[in-house]
Amino acid sequence: MRLLERILGAVLQTFRLDTVKRRILALAVLATLIPTGTTGWLLYIQNKTALTGKIHEELRSASINIAREFDLWLKERVYELRVFSGSYELSENVEKALRGGSTRAQVLRRSQDYLKSVQNKFSDYEDLFVLDTTGAVIVASAKQTAPLSLPHGWQKQARLDQPILTGARWDGSRGRTVMTVAVPLKTANGRFLGALATTINFGSMEAVLRQWAQGQTRHLYIVKPDGTRMLSSLLAPEPVLTTKLPEAATRTFFAGEAGELQRMTYDNLEVLAVMQRVPRLEWGVVAEKNYEDAYRALLDIRNVALMSTAWLLLGVGLVAYLLSMTIIGPLTRLTEGAAKVAGGDLSVAIPTDPPREIGRLATMFNTMVTYLREAQEELTSVNLALNERNQALETLSSTDVLTGLHNRRHMRDALNAEVARHQRNGRSFSIMMVDVDHFKKYNDTYGHPEGDVLLKKVGEILKSSLRTNDFAARYGGEEFLILLPDQDEKGAVEVGERIRQRIAVETEDPANQRQAVTVSIGVATFPEAGRTASVLLGNADAALYKAKNSGRNRVLTAGS
């Protein structure tokens, strides 16, 4: 390899390429072919961006229009029902039927004739029903009808003059997807009689979906928040309600912004999709396009450009390799030496071979390594001293000097982290706010130094009463805060009682004629007492003060 370097060096010397600068210029001339590939790639990116925008607009427009048409179609059905329910003939006959009497059968027959006439005029209606205020069917458009089920509390919606909408379902007897819509039925003077309900099919909307998808490579369907496909421009009606989108795809659609272009894979197919929500319902209209179909022409152009660029780069690379051998050899030795220095090995010495520039560079490199070797020894001693000081500062920043417990700032950080962790795993944890009863009186009686001794003793009792993964901190003055990860309310109360009893016994000092003190403790448990650190602290503090006001020397929970 070194012999080949000398031979090529002599050849380059003949062409006055005896400096690194001239050799790099020669290589740069050959490398001018590379921008061809770069330009092609940039053109591909620009074309793809423009095509993606066009596809996004196409799918967004389709989903918006279908959502608008679906909402309008549903509004029309509700409006029609309101018109029918407001018919004097229907409301008067139903009112007479509810009163009973000998004419009941006759008025019900007239009502049924009216419902039949409506059903015959409107193809979207499968059945029409009149319900009383209990939900019982008074009269229907057909003698035998499918079971009717309205949501719980529909009467309240009806009294508020709101339409009642149910989820879609598959009606096997009719071979169609249907849903139930109902509107309130009232007399002319506003008395609530019940509801006029209908089972409507989606034949009109299925036709709209197929019309929008006709002659296009896109696919349209309507989906519920649980992923169930309600209507589809491709699938037959029955399989639609038996197929669901994958959970990840459903979550992406309903958690993202409406109209946002999504790239996802489901049903073993990679697609570009846009969803628009239906205003009146929680459903969404999805317009999707096969990814390969959308970008097929662009991918073909890209593949041809990549192949051409690859052949061009292969030729340029072969020539560049032959030229670079006289440069790469010395530079490789410099690189390897630099890597050793970066890894901490300062015993490196680089040969000062030509070319001249690299020889001078090697000389300066060796000088630099010598300086680094001397500086490393000095830096090592400085780092040791800094590490010792940093460790001391870190301990001081997170520890209460008097009690040796964590300080308030460190506890707040730990509490925020615990809230975030338990919000992810859904488990419980508890905090306890502990306050020494009559501490001011204790200070006034025995003096502040004795008060400090008492706080130290309380801190020792807290530390020895907790598990290794629990946190205890001095929160301020005579207040302490305890964090109990993975501990429910019952367990936290047991810990609090154990601490309260120990303090009531172990803080007594007969030798110095010091009476024992008691503590009041407030307990708050996540998530029952709050889902944020500030709410938990507030509820624990409220429970503490309730314990204070209830006679002290006790443990109370938030909300107790």
**Which residues are identified as catalytic?**
478
Place of tokens 């690859």: 310
Q: Do 405 and 458 meet the contact criterion of CB atoms below 8 Å apart?
A: no
**What residues contact 18, with CB distance under 8 A and at least 6 apart?**
9, 12, 355, 356
CA distance 333 to 322: 18
Q: What are phi and psi of 198, to 5 degrees?
A: -145, 150
Q: 399: closest CA among 298, 472, 324, 504? A: 472
Q: What are phi and psi of 319, to 5 degrees?
A: -65, -45
Q: Do 485 and 418 meet the contact criterion of CB atoms below 8 Å apart?
A: yes
Q: Helices 356-398 and 291-342 sit at what angle, rounded to 10 degrees?
A: 100
From first CA to last CA, the distance across the chain in angstroms is: 85
**Burial of 73 from C-beta contacts in 10 A (0-12 / 13-18 / 19+):** middle
Q: 555: closest CA among 504, 477, 507, 494? A: 494
Which helix (H) or strand (E) segment holds residue 309: the answer is helix 291-342
CA distance 220 to 232: 6
CA distance 136 to 145: 13
Q: What are phi and psi of 22, to 5 degrees?
A: -70, -35
Place of tokens 């009216």: 114
Q: Any idea of the CA torsion for 442, 443, 447, 448, to the nearest 10 degrees?
A: 140
How far lies 445's CA from each of 209, 297, 477, 478, in Å?
85, 91, 17, 16
Residue 119 corresponds to which tokens in the numbers above? 């059903």
- Where b means 16+ CB within 10 Å and e means fewer, 474-511 reads bbeebbbbbbbbbbebeebbebbeebbebbeeebeeee
User: E strands along 238-291, which residues?
Assistant: 262-266, 269-277, 284-290
